[in-house]
Copies of this chain bind each other. A is one copy, B any other.
Amino acid sequence: MVDSPRGTTTRFRLQLSYDGSEFHGWAKQRGLRTVEDELGSVVDHLVAEHVDLTCAGRTDAGVHARGQVVHFDAERVDRLTLDHLNGALPHDIRARQLDVVPPEFDARFSAQWRRYSYTVSDDPRGPDPLMRRYQLALSDELDIDAMNEASRSLVGEHDFSSYCKVKEHGTSVREVLELKWDRLVSADSGLRTAIMHVKADAFCRSMVRSLAGALIPVGQGRKNREYPAQALEKRSRDAGIAVMPAHALVLEEVGYPAADQWEQRQWRTRSVRSGHQWNEKSNDASNLGP
């Protein structure tokens, strides 16, 4: 935390939802509409200064969020409320919760896990028109059991190079904590969907859409059940896995450890991601995952 000559800064944690359809992703890009830009300009206006936003998951263009988490530091905070935020934000971004947190909290580096969903309409009649913006439309019925069997080989700590679109600066080792497909038949429309739920300590770029890209062909019977694990073994971006479209992907939730572990988690994550050795400093470290 940086001391300010003018006063004391307060750190905030903000939880938000957005429809990514009309955003060029989270991160600022000159001349393009992004979540960071829209949210940043509202926060800047309310606190009457420029603040930097740090988010838990830098969503790509077209990706949605129900539970994105952001932190920022500000000085003049009397006008900073959930109501003021929602009053000024566009309708495709909603602030869900705003909390004051200690400076040890870091939305990105204190996070313990991220959970995403990826929804596929595999009904021959096509997706529910009211949900089509958030579903990938396929005409083949997906074999949920086959996709779940293939998914199991990807759970655990692995080098996900084959599932990362862009070379990471540090390591592409990630721990997938949960990966499963559910079958849903809508009570409203009678239409069938398949939903992938995936939870990991973190994801490299395009990783969730690549997991869907390896598993969906298994569900279609176009690849065998061993294909996703074989692709993983190649540890190469040349493994040929398709990156599936963004509009069916939602960042659902970000998990954090208990408050007394925020700082420790943050420094551990920073060192792991940069590829450096991290030394166990506490016997609580086992709670944080391998």
| Interface, chain A (partner B; CB < 8 A) | 17-19, 64, 66, 82-83, 86, 91-97, 124-130, 132-134, 137, 188-191, 250, 252
Count this chain's copies in the assembly.
2
Pairwise interchain contact A94-B252, C-beta atoms closer than 8 A: no
**Contact of A66 with B124 at beta-carbon distance under 8 Å, contacts A96-B190, A188-B252, A252-B188 already known:** no
Give complex CA distance A91, B130 in Å.
10
Task: Tell me if B134 and A130 are in contact (CB < 8 A).
Answer: yes
> Known contacts A83-B124, A124-B82, A124-B83; is A129 also within 8 Å of B190 by CB?
no
Asked whether, in the complex, the Cβ of A19 is within 8 Å of the Cβ of B132, the reply is yes
Question: Which residues of chain B are within 8 angstroms of A82 by Cβ–Cβ distance?
Answer: 124-125
- Chain B residues whose CB sits within 8 angstroms of the CB of A83 once the complex forms: 124
- Please name 14 further chain A to chain B contacts, defined as beta carbons within 8 Å, in addition to the given A92-B132, A130-B133, sorted by A numbering: A17-B128, A18-B129, A19-B129, A19-B130, A66-B130, A66-B188, A82-B124, A82-B125, A83-B124, A86-B125, A91-B129, A94-B125, A96-B190, A130-B134
Which residue in B17, B66, B130 is a CB contact (below 8 Å) of A17?
B130
With both beta carbons as reference points, the residue of chain B lying nearest to A132 in the complex is identified as B91
User: CA–CA, A19 to B133, complex, Å?
Assistant: 11
A128 touches B188 (CB 8 A): no
**With A and B bound together, what is the CA distance between A189 and B83 in angstroms?**
18
Q: Is the CB of B188 within 8 A of A95?
A: no
B250–A92 contact, CB under 8 A?
no
Q: Is the CB of A130 within 8 A of B86?
A: no
Rounded to whole angstroms, the CA-CA distance of A180 and B92 in the bound complex is 29
Closest residue on chain B to residue A19 by CB atoms:
B129
Jot down 26 A-B pairs with beta carbons below 8 A, ordered by A.
Answer: A17-B130, A17-B189, A18-B129, A64-B129, A66-B130, A66-B188, A66-B189, A82-B124, A82-B125, A86-B126, A91-B129, A91-B132, A91-B137, A92-B129, A94-B125, A94-B126, A94-B127, A94-B128, A94-B129, A95-B125, A96-B125, A96-B189, A96-B191, A97-B125, A130-B133, A130-B134
Chain B residues whose C-beta falls within 8 Å of the C-beta of A125 in the assembled complex? 82, 86, 94-97
**Shortest distance from the beta carbon of A82 to any chain B beta carbon, whole Å:** 6
Chain B CB within 10 Å — which of A124, A126, A133, A137 has the most? Answer: A126
**A127 contact set on B, CB distance < 8 A:** 91, 94
* Best-buried of A125, A137, A191 by chain B (most CB within 10 Å): A125
Q: Which residues of B contact A18 (CB under 8 A)?
A: 129
Q: Which residues of B lie under 8 Å from residue A191 when comparing CB positions?
A: 96
